[in-house]
Amino acid sequence: GSTIGILGGGQLGRMLSVAASRLGFRTHVYDPGEQPPAGDVAHAVTTAAFDDHDALDAFAASVDVVTYEFENIPTDALDRIEAARPIRPGREALRVSQDRLTEKEFLEGLGLTVAPFANVHDAQSLEAALESIPAPAILKTRRFGYDGKGQARIGSWGEAEEALAAMQGAPSVLEGVVDFQREVSVIAARGLGGEVACFDPGENVHEGGILRTTSVPARLTVAQRTDAVLLAGRILNALDYVGVLGVELFVTPSGLVVNEIAPRVHNSGHWTQNGCAVDQFEQHIRAIAGWPLGDGQRHADVVMENLIGDDIARAQELAGEPDTALHLYGKGEARPGRKMGHVNRILR
Ligand code: ATP
Ligand code: MG
Ligand code: MG
């Protein structure tokens, strides 16, 4: 059998590993951390820094194809690996999604709607940005942000200075606050031959910048649902994408606004593990391995709830509930804001 290399050994890498293993693949996880959650379930683990050339070369030599669970892998490491093995999804998807500014320009270039945005690098450019995008607005770092980290709300002019200080000099974008009715996401997949399949859009609720729940079906009109799926397909094709992609959307009365894209399996797609014959993790493995995409049709209504920090204390209780599937990540310490697991409740 062949071996799939996975860059990043968090919970996404772990669940990718399990899915790969079910299809008979071996996995090799590469992560700079000490005891990556994916390490428990992968067939091989390398814990080395992303600038360790020998480790990168040995990793690449041991696998047939390389994928990743997070988008912020250093470019040099990717270059080195790509000299030996294919990386899927490809480099263009990573280049675009590593930088919020590049990503917004790309989406706009496709004719999609994004929040009004402006490049910010100092007090002067922030002042200029606030002229065209008046408060309320959100300042976000262009790179490395996740779970709402690296963001500051600017409710009024007076809060600009404080927000800028919070960015600690990092290149940023100012975004207008979108007055959305709800948030949804599309988990979409594209195969090696260019075929596209989308899971049913999920409706997302965030708390403090972190995803709390995803519910399917999302409350969308037929037109909105069609639009969501079509725009995801447009993004996939434009990137000549291979694998699973997450597209986060704001629903507004005047149409869908793209918040951001993630070139990987996505937290808001975890419901597919118990709502579809083929879930997002298997779909991703199928795509990058050049297999046919699987049947991702939804066969149940599902609510996915993240278990964050101390929520993990409820795991045993949840395990005893009917129509409830528990997914735990095997992480040791339950720090506040740390994703420890999730639960999929099947609604009948
Ligand atoms: P993720 O973990 O999803 O990568 P992130 O750190 O990249 O998160 P965003 O997705 O940019 O953060 O924002 C987190 C949440 O904050 C959004 O899901 C949404 O609820 C809210 N938010 C972000 N940008 C806007 C906006 N322009 N208008 C309104 N709400 C916003
Ligand atoms: Mg993000
Ligand atoms: Mg987001």
Identify the band that residue 246 occupies on the pLDDT scale cut at 50, 70 and 90. Answer: very high
* For residue 10, pLDDT beyond 90: yes
Q: What is the dihedral of CA 108, 142, 200, 22, to 10 degrees?
A: 130
Predicted local confidence at residue 83, as pLDDT: 98
- Tens of pLDDT along 192-218? 999 999 999 999 999 999 999 999 999
Q: What percent of the chain has pLDDT over 70?
A: 100
CB-CB neighbours of 117 under 10 Å:
22
Mean pLDDT of the chain: 97
Kindly give the distance from the C-alpha atom of residue 172 to the centroid of ligand 2, in angstroms, as a whole number: 14
259 lines ligand 1 (CB under 6 A): yes
Residue matched to tokens 């000549």 = 240
| Residues 318, 103: Cα–Cα separation, whole Å | 39
Mutational pocket test of ligand 1: of 12, 213, 259, 268, the residue with most ligand atoms within 8 Å of the beta carbon: 259
1, pLDDT greater than 80:
no
Report pLDDT for 187.
98
Q: How far apart are CA 227 and CA 249, in angstroms?
A: 11
Q: DSSP strand E in the chain: where? A: 3-7, 26-30, 44-46, 65-68, 117-120, 137-141, 151-154, 172-176, 182-190, 196-198, 202-207, 210-216, 243-252, 255-262, 301-308, 324-328, 339-347
Q: In Å, how far are 23, 52, 58, 70, 261 from 93, measured between CA atoms? A: 26, 24, 25, 12, 9
Judge if the upstream peptide bond of residue 217 is cis by omega within 30 degrees of 0. Answer: yes
Closest ligand 1 atom to the C-alpha of 175? 27
Query: What is the pLDDT, as a whole number, of residue 348?
Result: 82
**Residue 207 CA to ligand 1 centre (angstroms):** 10
Domains of the chain: 3-87 (3.40.50.20), 116-176 (3.30.1490.20), 182-347 (3.30.470.20)
